[in-house]
Amino acid sequence: MRLWVRAVLILLLGALAAGSGFAQEVPPAGPAVTSIEIRSDAPLADVQELESLIEIEVGQPLEEEAVRHTLRNLQASGTASEIEVYAREEEGGVVAVIVFRAVVQVEEIRFEGELGGLSRADLTRAVPQKVAEPLSEERVVRGVFNLLDFYHDNGYLKAVVRVDPEIDPERRRAVVTYAVESGPRATVRTIGFTNPVEPFAPAALVQELRVRLGEPFQRRGARDSAERLQAWLVRQGYGAARVDPPQEVYDPEANRVDLTYPIEIGPKIAVILNGADEKALRRRGLLTFLGQGGYDEALLLQSVNRIRTWYQQQGHYRVQVASEERPANGTLEIVITIEPGPEYTLEEVDFAGNEEVSDDRLLELMATAPRSLLRPGSGRLVQEELDEDLDNMRRYYALQGYWQAEVDDPVVEETGPGNLKLTIPIREGLQRRVVNLRFEGMEALDPAGLLRRLPLKEGGPFHPTLLENTVDAIRAAYAEKGYAEAQVSAREDWNPDRTRVDVTIQVLEGAQRLVDRVILRGNQRTSSDVIRRTIDLDTGEPVSDTRLLEIERNLYRLGIFSRVDVELLPAGLGSSERDVLIRVEEGLPRTVTYGLGWDSEAGPRGLFGFSNNNVGGRAYSLRTDLRLSEEDSRFRFIVNRPYLGPYPVELTSTVFWEDVAERDRPYEVTRYGARTEAVRVFGNRRVSLGLDYRRIELEVDPGVAANDIERRDQPYELTSLVPSFFWDRRDDPITPTEGWSSLVQLQYAFPAFNTDTEFLKLFLQQTQYLDLGRPGVIAASVRFGGIEPFTTFRSFPGDPLAGFASRNVPIAERFFAGGDVTHRAYARDELGLRGETLIFDPDSGAENPYQPVGGNGLLLVNLEYRFPLFGPIGGTLFYDTGNVWADWQSIDFGGLKNGAGVGVQYLSPIGPIRAGIGWKLDREPGEDPYYLFLNIGNPF
């Protein structure tokens, strides 16, 4: 058989191949490709993944561009050091033969020898050579030096590290073994200081360090000790003290380290306050130069400004604050003199000279405001805030095109005892406006659709900043379309008096960056299909830097990668198609947790848990945990799939079982069930569908009444289908200030698995937020719920719910209201109608003998005003109204119960912490007049 070599090598990109390879010309068009053969001098790990990078197609002519792209893609995959393409003639066309000379890949990194107690995980992070990456001599050698530095920093100053890569030439795989001899850990021999440390004894300062004589040396601990000692000296009153990281002298024979800390004690700082209490100022954080950062003149000046501002916030506008430094017998005295002066209230803010911009609009730009009950903190004149207000007005005028506008120094005058009037003089001048906004060279974007998003508009004001922002917005729009090299400039044509301008945006679009192939590296356990499905990036799609960051974020969200890098590879000359290279490092997929403990009430406790966040390499997560004690036993099994077939639908399945027999309760409850929920997210919209089964079984001691059993422990069995839709247009899910959200949730409980309960449950909620700016936020919520039962349960003699529709629905599924997230004038679940959803219990012995049993109808309306007070502290005024009805068809506005209240909230890192009090406006006999609450998170 004759073999005709049509082409020895089509093209190999020299830059990507690191100088290896050669090329041979191929006719631009020729016989069709009948088949493609892949040959390699070593087994290929993922042939299917490599085939996705081949652009030579069966049935198409063997063309130079397809061969060039194939070589580029395969070279970027890192699977081979050289790649060659041959064409072999056969009847009816040619066979494309792709030959790999496989690169050596690292399949394992080992650490052997005396590791000195350092964890293998930390050692692995210190080594730049990663598993599933091509073997790199430079990275392997650099790993030796990184490990040496790591050991030295941990005190192993005699550590020796050697590396020995073992290469399997047939499989082209390598095992990199780092042989470590940590040696003994060095100890601290002496600790000294460079300068005299009077009035302290050196031994006293050594006691404040983290390092100790004779203990193991650690470089980080020694350096941290310098900051620790300096903070201690500042707390002793030596605010000017400075301690730098220590100088290290190592004695290799003794294997000991001598540490010497450069130190300057400086004078002791004494504060003399005239006209104020030092403790009060410290408590408010106004004496910043006495903090842990130590003393300097800049901090003193900052403190003076803070004190002045604080007094002005209390109404002392004309407060005088002065400071001076004076040495006295080795002590540096800081003298601060405060003369508060009289207390003033700002009664009026006026503007002079403004004609085009109204007073009301200017007032909206200011934090300074006359006294008003609707604006907490108003009525105080603070110079710092006033200066910011004046700058804000100047910027506003400039951005409105008034380039000659001047906002002069304000005039403050007393209009009566303790009353101030503020007058702000303004000279507006002429306004510049845009007449026409035109585009030249814009083909890839729709000018009409773009105009709505641009800061500069026809008929609107002109300012260079608006023009610059417009140009940047157009560049960003082009970048999103893949035109990373688009050049955007602007030309201005002015009328003679320079008050009207025509703006022409000129664009040189350049080449569009399009995706050619997506190349994956580093995934050993994880299927390539999982990564490709997650990134959702197709050939021919425009790609931008923002899109690449989004891909990284989506891959990190899977929770299976410790590192993700996404980059565009260089393109050939004249080519707009780019390969996207994705490098990943897989984290440890499996975790085992266990523990034993003892509780004085529950006795011995134990727990065991297992999780795997990458089952089968498909990014499925599995989590199970078991908790056992004498009073309760709990088991949970959860499986999560981030996709369902080819669709980005998250599927979570849960099985649970728990048995609770607490000593202080006269019954034992067993709960078990399962739930499966599918979730699909469309931007800010979330659609879900759940299938839920749960059963509660109860063993009750003799003589226990039904109302002695908690609602959540009442026995029932339920199978239900739960679809829901949530649309979130809020600006922040934790502390929203504007926007809205909508929730629709259905629940259909149907007979299955021996259950005979059947009902349809609907819950709706709408929230709305209105941002008032500095005054605060108005938040509103409307909630409606209704349950329609389709089965009827028999009543027993004396049944308090006989005749009510709510009796035909399990109590755990009924609506309840009252508490800090529903109606804040009532305690939890205590909102309702007496005789319908609140049942009289003569044996309760309480002042209010009515017990909540829930209902099938719910209507709640909440209105809240949230306003800032100071720092992260804010206040609230709220009005809640609503009720719970036995039947949703009985809902009427005449049955609403009203409440109002006040509260405070602290914006903590975990969300707002709220406390408040709500008063009942429709109080009935036996009810408490108010309800106190404390909670984390917003009520809606």
Q: Could you read off the pLDDT of 481-508 as tens digits, one per residue?
A: 999 889 999 999 999 999 999 999 999 9
3-state helix, strand, coil in the chain (%, to 5): 20, 40, 40
Are β-strands 739-749 and 716-728 bridged in parallel, bridged antiparallel, or unpaired? antiparallel
Q: Could you read off the pLDDT of 442-468 as tens digits, one per residue?
A: 999 999 888 888 999 999 999 999 999
The percent of residues in the chain predicted with pLDDT above 90, rounded, is 64
What span, in angstroms and rounded, lies between the C-alpha atoms of 606 and 453? 59
Q: Where does 395-522 show beta strands of DSSP type E?
A: 406-407, 411-416, 419-427, 433-440, 487-494, 500-508, 514-521
**Predicted confidence (pLDDT) at residue 883 exceeds the cutoff of 50:** yes
Q: What's the one-letter identity of residue 392? A: N
The structure's pTM equals 0.73
Q: What is the mean pLDDT of residues 145-152?
A: 96
Which pLDDT score, from 0 to 100, does residue 128 have? 94
The phi-psi region of residue 753 (left if phi > 0; otherwise alpha if psi is between -120 and 50; otherwise beta) is left
**Which residues, including other chains, have CB under 8 Å from residue 893's CB and lie 6 or more apart?**
none
**Predicted confidence (pLDDT) at residue 109 exceeds the cutoff of 90:** yes
* Closest among 64, 158, 77, 74 to 114, alpha carbons compared: 158
What span, in angstroms and rounded, lies between the C-alpha atoms of 702 and 866? 51
Which pLDDT score, from 0 to 100, does residue 44 have? 74
* Residue matched to tokens 């088991």: 635
Q: Residue 704: pLDDT band by 50, 70, 90 thresholds?
A: low
Tell me the sheet residues that pair with 384: none
* Closest among 260, 116, 94 to 183, alpha carbons compared: 116
Q: Could you read off the pLDDT of 406-443 as tens digits, one per residue?
A: 999 999 999 989 999 999 999 999 999 999 999 999 99
Rg (CA), the chain: 37
Write a three-state SS string for 744-805. EEEEEECCCCCCCCCEEEEEEEEEEEEECCCCCEEEEEEEEEEEEECCCCCCCCCCCCCCCH
Structure tokens at 579: 């390969």
